[in-house]
C-alpha cells in the first residue's frame, strides 16, 4: 500500500514510529533539522532492536534489514518525495506543526496522506493550512511506540472515510490495535480522560485533601493501575502533561490544570528526564519511586476518578467514541486493568454523581455531572448493583 513513508521529527515518538514501520517492512525516511539529532535517533533505534535480539524476539539478520530500511535526511523535500504517507512527530507546538504541513502540502502529490502524531492539538486547524484537509488525519501513537499496542486515529472536521480506511489498513500491518476518535475534540479520547484523572489527583493534593503518596498508593494498590498518577506524570513528563492539559483547558474547559502542575512546569521539574518531578531520581534507568502499600486506604478512589468518568460520559454523549472503544482506549493506551466505564459501574453511577455534586458545590461548575450520568441515575442505571449501567449485567 505505502512503499515508502516519511516520519518528520526524530525525537522520542518519531524514531519510535520509524522503528515500528521499518520492523514491519516499510522503507522509512526519517527527517529532522540536524544530523546530530538523526544520529542519536538511529543509536536509540539500534539499542531498542538489540534489546529485542537479546530477548529472542528478533534475529540479527532482521535487525540489519530493519536498520537498512531507515534512511535519514535533513531535507524535508527528500523525505516527502514519493511518500504516500507522511507522519509528523515534532514537538507539540501548533504553529510549528502548521508550518510543516503548509510546506508538505506544496511539495507532495495531492493524494499523499498527511498524518500528525499530536496527542491533543486540533487536527482541523493543522489541516486548515493545506489544500487537502480531507487527507489530514491524527495518527496518535503511544510511548514507546514499539511496545504500546494502541494507535488513536483522530478525524478532523474534513477527514475523508477513504483516508481513515487507508490509515487503518496501515496500522493493522504494524500489528497495532486502534480506536477511532470520530470528532476533533480537545484531548481526543485518551488524553481527555487521562488529563481529567491526573489533574484531579493534583488538585486533591493541592487542596490538602490527601498526600501525593496516599493518592498514588490508592491508585496503584486498590485501583490496580500499573503506576501511581504522580509516578506516571514523572514518567510521561510533567511538561508534556501540562501542555496537553492547557490545550484542553484553553479550547473548551474540558479540564482545569492544577496549580501543582503549573508550579512544577515553571520550575522545570519535568519528572524522570530532569531528575526531579513529583519524585526525585538518581539517574538509574529502572528506578521507581517507593510507594507504600499501607497508605492505599487513605483516600476514596471515587474522589480521584469521578472527573475522569465525567469526561468519559461527555465523550459518549457527544458521539466522539463508543463505549467499547473508550474502554479499549484506557486499557491499551493507559494500561488500566479494566475499562473506566467498567470501573464506574462497580463504584456505582449514583456514588460518582454524588461525589461530583459535592465537588461542584465546593469548587465550581467544572464538576457539574454530565447529563448522561444524571440520566443514568434517573433511570436506575447505577451499574453492577442494579445490573444496568454503562453495561448490562446478568
Cα–Cα dist 330/192, whole Å? 11
Short-list 261, 258, 214, CA closest to 236: 261
Question: Catalytic residue among 19, 152, 195, 231, which?
Answer: 152
What is the residue-wise DSSP string for 240-260?
HHHHHHHHHHHHH-SS---HH
Cα–Cα dist 133/155, whole Å? 10
Q: Is 152 assigned a catalytic role?
A: yes
What is the residue-wise DSSP string for 35-64?
HHHHHHHHHHHHHHHHHHHHTTSS-HHHHH
Question: Catalytic residue among 83, 117, 140, 310, which?
Answer: 140
Is 96 within 8 Å of 116 (Cβ atoms)? no
> Which helix (H) or strand (E) element contains residue 204?
helix 190-206
Q: Is 34 assigned a catalytic role?
A: no
State the burial class of residue 101 (Cβ atoms within 10 Å of its Cβ: 0-12, 13-18, 19+). buried
Question: Catalytic residue among 117, 166, 191, 310, which?
Answer: 191
Q: Quickly tell me which residue has 453511577 as its cell.
A: 349
Those residues with Cβ within 8 angstroms of residue 194's Cβ, 6 or more apart along the chain or in another chain: 241, 308, 334
Q: Is 88 assigned a catalytic role?
A: no
| Angle of CA points 268, 272, 273, to nearest 5° | 65
Three-state DSSP at 136 gives strand
Question: Catalytic residue among 48, 83, 117, 119, which?
Answer: 119
* Cα torsion 246, 247, 250, 252: sign: negative
Q: Is 68 assigned a catalytic role?
A: no
Cα–Cα dist 41/104, whole Å? 22
Give the residue numbers marked as catalytic. Answer: 119, 140, 152, 191
Amino acid at each position: 500500500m505505502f512503499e515508502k513513508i516519511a516520519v518528520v521529527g526524530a525525537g522520542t515518538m518519531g524514531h519510535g514510529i520509524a522503528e515500528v514501520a521499518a520492523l514491519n517492512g516499510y522503507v522509512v525516511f526519517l527527517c529532522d533539522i540536524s544530523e546530530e539529532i538523526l544520529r542519536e535517533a538511529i543509536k536509540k533505534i539500534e539499542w531498542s532492536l538489540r534489546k529485542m535480539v537479546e530477548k529472542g524476539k528478533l534475529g540479527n539478520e532482521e535487525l540489519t534489514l530493519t536498520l537498512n530500511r531507515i534512511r535519514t535526511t535533513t531535507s524535508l523535500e527528500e523525505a516527502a518525495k514519493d511518500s504516500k504517507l507522511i507522519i509528523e512527530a515534532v514537538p507539540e507546538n501548533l504553529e510549528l506543526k502548521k508550518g510543516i504541513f503548509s510546506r508538505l502540502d506544496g511539495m507532495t502529490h495531492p493524494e499523499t496522506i498527511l498524518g500528525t502524531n499530536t496527542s491533543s492539538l486540533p487536527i482541523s486547524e493543522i489541516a486548515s493550512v493545506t489544500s487537502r484537509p480531507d487527507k489530514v488525519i491524527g495518527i496518535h501513537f503511544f510511548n514507546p511506540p514499539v511496545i504500546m499496542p494502541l494507535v488513536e486515529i483522530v478525524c478532523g472536521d474534513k477527514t475523508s472515510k477513504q483516508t481513515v480506511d487507508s490509515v487503518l489498513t496501515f496500522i493493522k500491518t504494524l500489528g497495532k490495535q486502534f480506536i477511532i476518535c470520530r470528532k476533533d475534540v480537545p484531548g481526543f479520547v485518551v488524553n481527555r480522560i487521562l488529563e481529567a484523572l491526573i489533574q484531579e489527583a493534583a488538585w486533591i493534593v493541592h487542596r490538602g485533601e490527601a498526600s501525593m503518596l496516599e493518592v498514588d498508593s490508592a491508585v496503584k494498590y486498590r485501583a490496580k493501575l500499573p503506576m501511581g498518577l504522580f509516578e506516571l506524570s514523572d514518567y510521561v513528563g510533567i511538561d508534556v502533561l501540562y501542555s496537553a492539559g492547557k490545550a484542553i483547558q484553553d479550547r473548551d474547559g474540558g479540564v482545569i490544570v492544577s496549580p501543582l502542575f503549573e508550579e512544577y512546569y515553571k520550575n522545570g521539574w519535568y519528572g524522570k528526564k530532569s531528575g526531579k518531578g513529583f519524585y526525585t531520581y538518581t539517574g538509574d534507568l529502572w528506578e521507581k519511586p517507593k510507594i507504600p502499600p499501607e497508605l492505599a486506604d487513605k483516600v476514596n478512589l471515587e474522589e480521584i476518578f469521578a472527573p475522569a468518568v465525567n469526561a468519559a460520559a461527555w465523550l459518549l454523549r457527544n458521539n466522539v467514541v463508543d463505549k467499547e472503544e473508550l474502554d479499549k482506549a484506557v486499557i491499551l493506551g493507559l494500561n488500566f486493568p479494566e475499562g473506566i466505564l467498567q470501573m464506574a459501574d462497580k463504584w456505582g453511577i449514583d456514588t460518582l454523581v454524588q461525589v461530583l455534586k459535592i465537588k461542584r458545590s465546593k469548587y465550581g461548575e467544572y464538576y457539574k455531572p454530565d447529563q448522561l450520568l444524571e440520566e443514568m441515575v434517573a433511570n436506575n442505571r447505577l451499574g453492577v448493583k442494579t445490573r444496568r449501567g454503562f453495561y448490562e449485567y446478568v
